Copies of this chain bind each other. A is one copy, B any other.
Amino acid sequence: MNARQSLIQSAQELLWERGYVGMSPKAIQERAGAGQGSMYHHFKGKSDLAAEAIQQSADSFRDGADKWLGASGTPLERIRGYMLRSRQVLKGCQIGKLTQDPEIAANVDLRRPIDETFQWLQRRLSGVLAEGQQSGEISKNLNATEVAAALISVIQGGYVLASAAASPKPFHRAIRGVLSLLG
């Protein structure tokens, strides 16, 4: 891997582990095995590198979700598959976690890829839910967009409960809870 991509990958890992505020250029360089000169040659600075790292993380997040939501099976089966897929629960969401960082929330270049990813996921889930409403698997009384937002929120909030407890159990409990509501 070249130095540029190695720096991006190190930044992705550190953003996930420490957030933007908690990630120093020095730590990125050490993890990537690159010097300061290299980093400041390839990127304007910390926020420029972070923007690229976040974009790549968002892209792979989307690919991962689409694999489950576009799988074979009935709409409800695909939703359940996505909700129940294995995750690194105690690490939190590589994308969602970043929204709670004050400097990411305040910088539109850092926030936009995250916003677009969640908008995409809401539309994608909402489409699958609507399919299920057509086929009669899911109640037509529900608003698909609202239920999609709730499903995404359960995952994101499940990470919060799991981190608080230092255990993945509350995460899985919450997923089971919302799936039982969905029927």
Listed in ascending order, the chain A residues whose CB lies under 8 Å from chain B are 17-19, 21-22, 92-93, 96-97, 99-103, 105, 111, 114-115, 117-119, 122, 141-143, 145-161, 163-166, 170, 173-178, 180-182
Contacts and interface: CB of A to CB of B under 8 A. Distances in A.
Nearest to A95: B164
B100 A163 contact: yes
Contacts of A96: 157, 160, 164
21 contacts: A19-B21, A93-B160, A96-B164, A100-B159, A100-B163, A111-B164, A122-B170, A141-B180, A142-B181, A146-B180, A149-B161, A150-B174, A152-B174, A153-B153, A153-B154, A153-B157, A153-B161, A153-B174, A154-B178, A156-B156, A156-B161
Contacts of A102: 17-19, 22
